[in-house]
Amino acid sequence: MTAPALELAGITKRYPGVLACDAVDFRVEPGSVHALVGENGAGKSTLMSIACGLVAPDAGTVHIGGELLGRRGPARARALGLGMVHQHFLLVPTLSVADNVVLGREPGRLGAYDRAAAEARVRATALRYGFDLDPRARVGDLSVGEQQRVEIVRVLDTGARVVILDEPTAVLVPQETAELVRILRDLAAAGHAIVFISHRLPEVRAIADTITVLRGGRVVETLAARAASEANLARAIVGRALAAPVVARARSVAGAVLELTDVRTAGTRGALQGVSLTVRAGEIVGVAGVEGNGQQALLRSVLGLETPRSGSIRFAAHDVTHTGVAERRRRGMAYVSDDRLGEGLVPEMTLAENLLLSTPQSDALGWRGFLRPAAWRARAAAILDAAAVRPARADRDARTLSGGNQQKVVLGRELAGAPRLLVLGQPTRGVDVGGIEFLHAQILSARDAGAAVLLVSADLAEIRALADRVVVLYGGQLRGPLDIDAATPERLGRLMLGAEDVA
């Protein structure tokens, strides 16, 4: 009888105040794609960290290809044939494809790197698995989809027979997602075992043979993908039925709140090349695009973190082209980033302290420079309650919350000031289906209350669910706008890849 490619038995892991994994059994067969789904904080990351040897379980065992992993760490896991493609790529942009793939395992003699041998090895691995990659290409010049293929080739080059992919479609357009599905099915057909971690249920059902649902650190269901509906999966993930999405488009659109006119930024790659855009009160304008096409330059320019090389920016009827962040926030600009721990929160600070950040001082919170602890704690509690943060403890450090709850804290803080303009950068990346449902409802409520909303996202489902109008950012230039009803995923995908628009 063939041993499972990966088997975790009775895995239990406790952290202070948290039971991350509770006697979890998880088994992946050779030649199959096994999806692992669950809410943020359900235990997926902990379980896979244990499988990779990065975290030692308190109880339970891990077998890879029938061999016991034990407590010898990630090197032992790699030697047994397990590799992981992380959501945030571990590539060096200035190096070539070949240099990245063999990094740490470079061919050569007497300390001299044999680049020709590396390129030949990578070319052979890519051809073997049907990847179209140039070993000499500079990684920083590749599209996101191509970089992901480099990551997969890097893992396969180590001899991995078990490949874990964490949110692999989060930054891909539909055409690239379809290509990834083909690649993973081909790998499974060749005998590899694939663990596919994702919050995107349509893709999970399309690619997986088997689906395991984690909730609260426990396995609540393992079933064949063909027997799973999106509604039943969502119910298993969050423990309740999700409301059917009903999206009402903007009812009352007023004057321009944000106006960009021929904005150009410094640099070459990722710079804006003459962007003009208007966002009006009471509407959501979605900006779609593959990452690296000017999204960061657009956000930085709008927020006041970067001064354009030319062009102008008007906000709330004022020219703010050369004003900074503080002045724009004073006039009513708010921001929610996908990098919640890098830009949105200070992880080591309490939630109450984080909710004070970016909050204008008032007599209710302070007097002559002194804070009134009772007042700001009460305000923090009110924001946490309105944002449905669980647990709603204002004295808890931000880093202890799940990703979805962290993003609720950030959005709740920004909405508490009733902003004129809400700027969103990938606001639900890495958030589970229940969290997305709540965050989307809050964003729509802000729009209906009269806020202008600029939504920058690579998630076309999110763009189409929220936006009233959509533009595509490619090569630092805007294409569109398109009415949302005309913005099909296929049409947006073509524009995001640089193809000419064909209605």
Condensed to tens digits (0 to 9), the pLDDT of residues 341-390 reads: 888 899 899 888 888 886 655 555 666 666 777 777 888 888 888 888 87
pLDDT score of 366: 62
Percent of residues, the chain, with pLDDT higher than 90? 50
Give the pLDDT score at 410.
92
pLDDT at 179 over 60: yes
Rounded Cα distance between 128 and 390, Å, is: 48
The packing angle between helices 115-128 and 144-157, to 10°, is 100
Stretch 189-216: mean pLDDT: 92
pLDDT at 99: 95
Tell me the average pLDDT of the chain: 88
pLDDT tens digit sequence for 113-146: 999 999 999 999 988 888 888 999 999 888 777 8
Confidence of residue 209 (pLDDT cuts 50, 70, 90): very high
Say which residue, 133 or 177, is predicted with more confidence: 133
Roughly how many angstroms between the first and final C-alpha of the chain, as a whole number?
A: 54
Of 270 and 366, more confident: 270
pLDDT (0 to 100) of residue 454: 97
Q: 171 or 342: whose pLDDT is higher?
A: 342
Q: How far apart are CA 16 and CA 8, in angstroms?
A: 23
**What integer pLDDT is reported at residue 367 of this predicted model?**
65
Q: Which residue is listed with tokens 């990578």?
A: 122
> pLDDT exceeding 70 applies to what percent of the chain?
94
- pLDDT bin (cut points 50, 70, 90) of residue 417 is confident
Name the most confidently modeled range: 220-229, 306-315, 452-461. Answer: 306-315
pLDDT at 502: 52
Q: Are the C-beta atoms of 433 and 201 separated by less than 8 Å?
A: yes
pLDDT of residue 246: 56
Query: Phi-psi bin for 466: left (phi > 0), alpha (psi -120 to 50), beta?
Result: alpha
The CA distance from 52 to 170, in Å, is 22
Residue with the two structure tokens 């609540």: 220
CA angle in degrees (0–180, nearest 5) for 15-19-24: 120
* Token reading at 17: 């105040």
- State the average pLDDT over residues 469-484: 89
pTM summary value = 0.74
pLDDT of 177 reads 80
Three-class SS of 358-417: CCCCCCCCEECCEECHHHHHHHHHHHHHHCCCCCCCCCCEHHHCCHHHHHHHHHHHHHHC
- pLDDT value for 214: 94
Are 56 and 43 contacting, i.e. CB atoms less than 8 angstroms apart? no
pLDDT band per the 50, 70, 90 thresholds, residue 301: very high
Average pLDDT over residues 8-35: 93
Per residue in 222-264, pLDDT (tens digit) is 999 998 888 888 888 888 776 655 566 766 678 999 999 999 9
Which DSSP category does 350 fall into?
Answer: B
